[in-house]
Structure 1
């Protein structure tokens, strides 16, 4: 029996992989230009980037649903070293204070960049860079499978 990948599956794999790759790029300081994706793959990329950030927030031992998920100091310090456009930086800093009000004016590409940078910063605040990279590489192995 031959298995065929449906186009939606290919879009999902492409989008989710691109989100993890962008987060990895932020961690390694090699942020590339956004990949050319189909609109559906771009939606999956945004969804995956949002999920990565949610996961990183919940990994913080200080996380509680009863208070704002403020970025730990190590993540904030790391963010100061990351080049970002002004709109992306504003969104990232809003997310660092657990506020999303700065997201509405961003393009999808800018939202994904803000989510990826925020995820990288939160992982840096939780783990040594090597461990953060290892964890993301494991996620990439899973999402890049068709």
Structure 2
């Protein structure tokens, strides 16, 4: 008897992770993105990938310390004010800027991903010039989507 094992299709993973990086890049460029059409599995990968760069940018902040809240620096907060958002989405993004809040967890998945992407772009603006931030994101994108 022969047993065959199939590996999971990585297309959903690549699509979701690439869409997450593209979303952050779009916000960083100052344009409003269109929601990508993804399978439910790809959307899950997108949400997972979107949270990583936010965590990374928080930890890169020179003022970051594990013993206090990772409140977004003023430059990032100022950048957030330039992004058009509606409530309660804006409240969730502001909650992330203050390092958490229950409003974020109440959002539907698509909005959570957008909040993560906007927050990442805002925090990147406090760390790098826009061109450098985009270059770094494109490096990440090349890893998650080598095609």
| TMscore range, shorter length | over 0.9
Normalised by the length of structure 2, the TM-score is 0.92
1:73 and 1:140 map into 2 onto residues whose CA distance is 27
**Distance of 1:94 and 1:8 partners within structure 2:** 35
Does the CA contact (< 8 Å) of 1:88 and 1:113 recur in 2? no
Where 1:63 maps in the other structure, the secondary structure is coil
> What is the match of residue 3 of structure 1?
none
CA shift for structure 1 position 7:
5.4
Number of residue pairs aligned between Structure 1 and Structure 2: 142
Poorly superposed stretches of 4+, deviation over 2 Å: none
Alignment of 1:102-121 (within 5 A): 102-121=103-122
Give the TM-score, by structure 1 length. Answer: 0.92
> Which structure 2 residues correspond to residues 94-105 of structure 1 after superposition, within 5 A?
94-105=95-106
Partner of 2:140: 139
Decide which structure has the larger Cα Rg and report it.
Answer: 2
Structure 2 residue aligned with 1:67 = 68
Of stretches 24-33 and 118-127 in structure 1, the one that deviates more from structure 2 is 24-33
For structure 1, which runs of at least 5 residues remain unmatched after alignment?
A: 1-5
Matched with 1:32 is 33
Q: Distance in 1 between matches of 2:9 and 2:48?
A: 14
